[in-house]
Chain A
Amino acid sequence: MWIWASAFIIGSFAIYLLIGRQFGAGDVKGFYAAGSVSSPIKTGMAIATDWISAATFISMAGYISVTGFSGSVYIMGWTGGYVLLALILAPYLRKFGKFTVPDFVNTRYYSSLAGVIALFAAIIISLVYFCGQLRGVGIVLARIFEIPVAWAIVGGALLTLFYSFLGGINPGSRTKAGQYIIVIVAYLAPAGVIAYKLTGMPIPQLALGFDGSTEGSFLKLLDHLGGDAGLAPFVSSESLNYQNPLNLLCITVALMVGTAGLPHIVSKFYSIPSASAARMSAAYALLFIALLYTAAPSLAGFARYGVLEQIQSKEYSEAPKWFNKWEKTGLVNWDDKSKPGAVSFRYINKIPNLESTTADTVVIDPDILVLATPETVSLPPWITALLLLGAITAALTTSAGLLLVIGSTFSHDFYYRLINKSAIERKQAAIGRFAMIIATMAAAGFSMYPPGSIVQVVAYAFGLAAATFFPVLALGVFWKRATSQGAIAGMALGLVFTGSYIIQVAIFKDEPWFFGISPEGIGAIGMLINFATTILVSRFTPPPPMDVQDFVENIRVPKVSDQAFGWNNRR
């Protein structure tokens, strides 16, 4: 298997790097400028590539597989957010003529303090997001070489740094579009083969409604299987009895709003040449993302079926081969080998009244479920290898992009602009690389002992983005009265509240004291706090300068005869 996987991965990354070299190595401007010259379709693909990360590819379907219906919040949150992004921000941002979110905040709110807070938040958000990606790279490498995941994370960290330094980060939208095609094929093809094998329906999006066995639709079979293992059902009418609806709502909102506030996604829209193209790009991006997301529920179902069928109530001696391979990574564990299998999943609580009476003997990390599924239905190794290729492409490209954002924000926006104005470019580059190495080390350490599965960790990044950036961006476009003092107070309060709640509940395992809202969803509350604070403080502080107000007045009109790019004084 590892031969297939290595051949696929080395082959495709050689191609990415080659094309990347040919069409110019990655600079910061290039990374942000996803679509300066290309068509909305290509730009949409490039955005989709940056969007489909380890969280989507490796972790999401596995998480849904374990949590059942309530996992749907990730599906709705990570697609519905594009509507917010397209309607509220995408067509207007490019008028500011900036490349990064901190730059935007600095200019719109005419204050370098606001810029510094934004910069600090952008680095934190990217770093948390990066932790999730590095965990994904580690899991893939651990499976390929059958080594403990901690070592694989060290290897993955080196690989990510190597890939970033080589300059293959931003090969432009041409390679990005190619990477999208590889990722989507690597997801849909294995899902299709599994779907055909289990249900006789080769289109993964449709497969769950087809017959799985004599018991009727596949979906019924899943709920039956899951109930025995203490897992929540897929079908909502039964599942909602076990959930806090307010929490589900908050997670959905946090993920959606986070989408429209995530620095490396928002900045894609700064450089699109027209409002019309920006809207089209967002629409195509969502279309391309939807192809994967609509297949995820089926894959989630197949993963639950495969794993429970082969482990639940079986003896250790009859454990399947794939289980033994994953055992070497430390991501699955059979605690008491003398007892038959009773599966539980790491990070996820069982539902008390569904739980079976026998004690759990097997612990499985939900992040392996997607990658393990082809083997649970005994498909040939190259199908698993294809999935691993897609997974590492998704994780590594996103990691490299985030690392570049961290490095350039630190070296250019922070060091050069605020500390040492006279730094020459070489020194800036060195500082940037230093920041990238430090960030990678921090993320590697963190992702060896993550507080949750990849989707959960990435959801924290979304929550922080929702609580920090979205209100300030949206008010910046729609409300000319929003002042710098308001933005500073709003961002600071949103960031501190959300950040400390996540640390308290996710890392120090305190009770979720705010209406039982889990740390994945607290960003929604942080966002409300940010909105309220920004509006309130803006009301009581002097209005923004006239030129800022005039500019905001016209920002939603694509072409105004007497207004050019930048800050014209039109009195």
Chain B
Amino acid sequence: MAERASVKEFKLYELLITWALLCIWATVVFVLGLYATADLDNFVIFGKPLGFWFTFQGSIICCVLLLFVYCKAMDFLERKYGVHE
């Protein structure tokens, strides 16, 4: 019975990580990447308006980082609950 409970806990945390990262992703792409660009353009980064940079390059960099964070977090979680392969 204890095993089942820990699997349940694992699935809960897995869902939590997935949803948290999806929320960050949606904010990065849809809010910062599309809708706030005009406001972000008031700042300058690498010689470009920030909004422009974020849409064309920054959002991609965020997505890459996000995926590596996801890998690390899930590997840790799988090991902690002993369900890794």
Contacts and interface: CB of A to CB of B under 8 A. Distances in A.
A240 B37 contact: yes
A558 interface: yes
Contacts of B51: 235-237
A91 interface: yes
Contact of B11 (A88, A205, A219, A556): A556
Contacts of A111: none
A209 B83 contact: no
A431 interface: no
Interface in B43-69: 46-49, 51-53, 55-57, 59-61, 63-64, 66-68
B7 interface: yes
Given A245-B34, A276-B71, A279-B71, A72 B56 contact: yes
Nearest to B21: A87
B64 A87 contact: no
A447 B46 CA distance: 40
Interface bracket on A = 35 or more
Contacts of B48: 208-209, 217, 219
A208 B49 CA distance: 11
B52 A234 contact: yes
Contact of A252 (B34, B68, B85): B34
Contacts of B11: 556-557
B21 to A, nearest CB: 6
A84 B29 CA distance: 12
Nearest to B39: A237
Given A209-B46, A275-B78, A286-B67, A235 B41 contact: yes
Nearest to B40: A236
Nearest to B35: A245
A557 B67 CA distance: 19
B55 A72 contact: yes
A208 B83 CA distance: 47
Contacts of B33: 72, 76
A76 B56 CA distance: 7
Given A86-B67, A219-B48, A297 B57 contact: yes
Q: Is the interface of A mostly helix, strand, loop or mixed?
A: helix
Contacts of B25: 80, 83-84, 87
A79 B57 CA distance: 10
Interface string B71-83: 1001100100001
A82 B67 contact: yes
Given A209-B48, A283-B64, A294-B57, A557 B83 contact: yes
A363 B57 CA distance: 30
A290 interface: yes
Given A236-B55, A279-B71, A75 B60 contact: yes
B67 A236 contact: no
A276 B75 contact: yes
A282 B74 contact: no
B14 A556 contact: yes
A206 interface: yes
Contact of B55 (A76, A87, A245): A76
A561 B56 contact: no
A75 B14 contact: no
Contact of A294 (B41, B47, B49, B60): B60
Given A87-B18, A287-B64, A557-B11, A237 B38 contact: yes
18 contacts: A69-B37, A80-B63, A87-B18, A205-B57, A209-B48, A209-B53, A235-B51, A236-B49, A236-B51, A237-B38, A240-B38, A249-B30, A279-B70, A290-B63, A557-B7, A559-B84, A560-B83, A561-B3
Interface of A: 69, 72, 75-76, 79-80, 82-84, 86-88, 91, 205-206, 208-210, 217, 219, 234-237, 240, 245, 248-249, 252, 256, 273-276, 279-280, 282-283, 286-287, 290, 293-294, 297, 556-561
A-B interface, 9 closest residue pairs, ranked by CB to CB distance from nearest:
A209-B47, A236-B37, A283-B67, A237-B38, A274-B85, A297-B56, A237-B41, A209-B48, A209-B46
